[in-house]
A and B are shown apart, each in its own frame.
Chain A
């Protein structure tokens, strides 16, 4: 039996200054006569469920946006009968997928065929662990922060390979291999771009990365210090989400639907869900890394001083927290909107162009960006380090 140190994960305090939701909740439960341990255990699933629900609502919103924006790009109307402006269309889509027959091809490997979509979805959902919506509004402020996301997203290719292989279909296998090759190639410049940001803020934690950008509102966002890194990260994130112009793994003209070819019903829905959760997550992470996260373009502290409100008053705290959540979501969905526009207006690249672009263009650029950031950090320590 190995000796066990007590596990210290700074789980879910959800407190904002004096506003300590976790403490309050546990105090109420303890007031009812529950043990502190049990009260804590009852608190733990709440933020996780909340974030999961937020992710699912984000998926519904982005699916609706995708349908409406694609319609506008192609001068159609798009969904309009399900709810006002067709806003219930994604729900109808989900319901349809839920009641469809779940087909497993006769010659497929049923175990791996079922496990594949799960392995694609779970790491994406787990990555929401580190997305901050405010100072303490995140599930877990783990020290490895953004590195955890990079590590988790490297599990995804295994799920893609698994579903491609187990479908027993040549299109699926080719699609799975392409997907894995693509996400491995673009992971490298992605990690290098993140490394440059981490170098600026001296921390891997997403909370500290945002805090370091919020000293002067809009002007102190990382996008001004890392314009090249921002572009590299954005391109890589689009490629990791397998969206056009990088949607080769499911290129209809060549591969039917790539690794999803044999999937139907709920298993297909898992892929669909995974790709949109990943899209919203990518938007959030671009906002966190480069656009100041929950920070309002004008610093909220400055606004409060102008309005003669003390920062510690409960009203200001609630307003600050809400403004933080709304700003984060707005920034993320603005980026999702750009990703959708990009998908419906750009042609698909070829596989050799894709790999050339990743290895011969983005990788050197990301390396130069990293070296330049390190050099600038040494020369101008006031601007380039925290």
Chain B
């Protein structure tokens, strides 16, 4: 076995090991912050696997979108919410766990069945390497145009929804409950420190 191939094998084994262990950690660790950080590790190992398959653009996009955006967002949510409430023991915990184990095992069986019965082409089509970027662009604007545009509309809707939720205080009525909104939280206009410079526009309330 040549040096390049054995390096590749070692990388593959390391990455898949990290991916499996990390994924187990995400599910099994009781501390949610550890789970979130491990999720980042899992997504990074996935990017490494893409890189091994000569799909460098997909790997970089995986890092940018899943690690740099999704995982950071999850961490933000965890750290900003930081609610230390005592956990009450839930009723029927055993039953819940059993049910979720059954559902997960069913999903696993389904996926294994699909993986075993699909006639995989071995070896697969040759990777196009650096040409991939051009090919992806062509697909986006020809045969995958509709999914591409629908996804962009979906993102736009999510963005508008987030803005409406974040700026609930400037609306007269609460969008969720329909009751008159509490305007008390709205930041007051700052009175300028130096009266001679009055009339300078106060800065907008911080979007945080």
Is there an interface contact between A154 and B79, defined as CB atoms closer than 8 Å? no
- Interface hits, B73-130 → A, CB 8 Å: 75-76, 79-80, 122-124, 126-127, 129-130
Chain A residues with Cβ under 8 A from B124's Cβ? 3
Given contacts A151-B61, A158-B40, A158-B67, contact A359 B207 (CB under 8 A): yes
Is there an interface contact between B75 and A5, defined as CB atoms closer than 8 Å? no
Q: How far is the CA of A382 from the CA of B37 in the complex (A)?
A: 48
Of the listed stretches A142-150, A216-224, A230-238, chain B binds A142-150
Tell me whether chain B's interface is mostly helix, strand or loop, or mixed: helix
Is there an interface contact between A157 and B57, defined as CB atoms closer than 8 Å? no
Given contacts A143-B129, A154-B69, contact A8 B40 (CB under 8 A): no
Of the listed stretches B2-10, B17-25, B175-183, B193-201, chain A binds B2-10
CB of A187 to closest CB in B, whole Å: 8
CB within 8 A of B79: which of A144, A173, A187, A353? A173
Is there an interface contact between A155 and B54, defined as CB atoms closer than 8 Å? no
Q: How far is the CA of A5 from the CA of B57 in the complex (A)?
A: 17
CB of A138 closer than 8 Å to a CB of B: no
CB within 8 A of A352: which of B4, B67, B71, B207? B207
Q: How far is the CA of A350 from the CA of B12 in the complex (A)?
A: 47
CB within 8 A of A3: which of B33, B61, B71, B123? B123
- Interface hits, A157-210 → B, CB 8 Å: 157-158, 161-162, 165, 173, 176-177, 180-181, 184, 187, 204
Is there an interface contact between B67 and A154, defined as CB atoms closer than 8 Å? yes
Q: Number of A residues whose C-beta is below 8 Å from B?
A: 42
CB of B46 closer than 8 Å to a CB of A: no
Is there an interface contact between A144 and B54, defined as CB atoms closer than 8 Å? no
CB within 8 A of B37: which of A3, A112, A353? A112
Per-residue 0/1 for A1-31: is the Cβ within 8 Å of any B Cβ (1 yes, 0 no)?
0111111100000000000000000000000
CB of A161 to closest CB in B, whole Å: 5
Is there an interface contact between B207 and A158, defined as CB atoms closer than 8 Å? no
Interface-centre pick from A144, A162, A181, A184 (highest chain B CB count, 10 A) = A144
CB of A152 closer than 8 Å to a CB of B: yes
Is there an interface contact between B72 and A184, defined as CB atoms closer than 8 Å? yes
Is there an interface contact between B56 and A144, defined as CB atoms closer than 8 Å? yes
Given contacts A4-B52, A5-B126, A352-B204, contact A152 B79 (CB under 8 A): no
Given contacts A161-B75, A173-B79, A352-B207, contact A154 B123 (CB under 8 A): no
- Interface hits, B14-73 → A, CB 8 Å: 33, 37, 40, 44, 52-54, 56-57, 60-61, 63-64, 67-69, 71-72
18 new A-B pairs (CB below 8 Å) besides A352-B205, A352-B206? A5-B53, A6-B8, A7-B8, A8-B54, A37-B3, A144-B133, A147-B60, A148-B56, A150-B60, A154-B69, A157-B68, A158-B40, A158-B67, A158-B71, A180-B72, A180-B76, A187-B68, A351-B206
CB within 8 Å of B: which residues of A? 2-8, 37-38, 40-41, 112, 142-144, 147-148, 150-152, 154-155, 157-158, 161-162, 165, 173, 176-177, 180-181, 184, 187, 204, 350-353, 355-356, 359
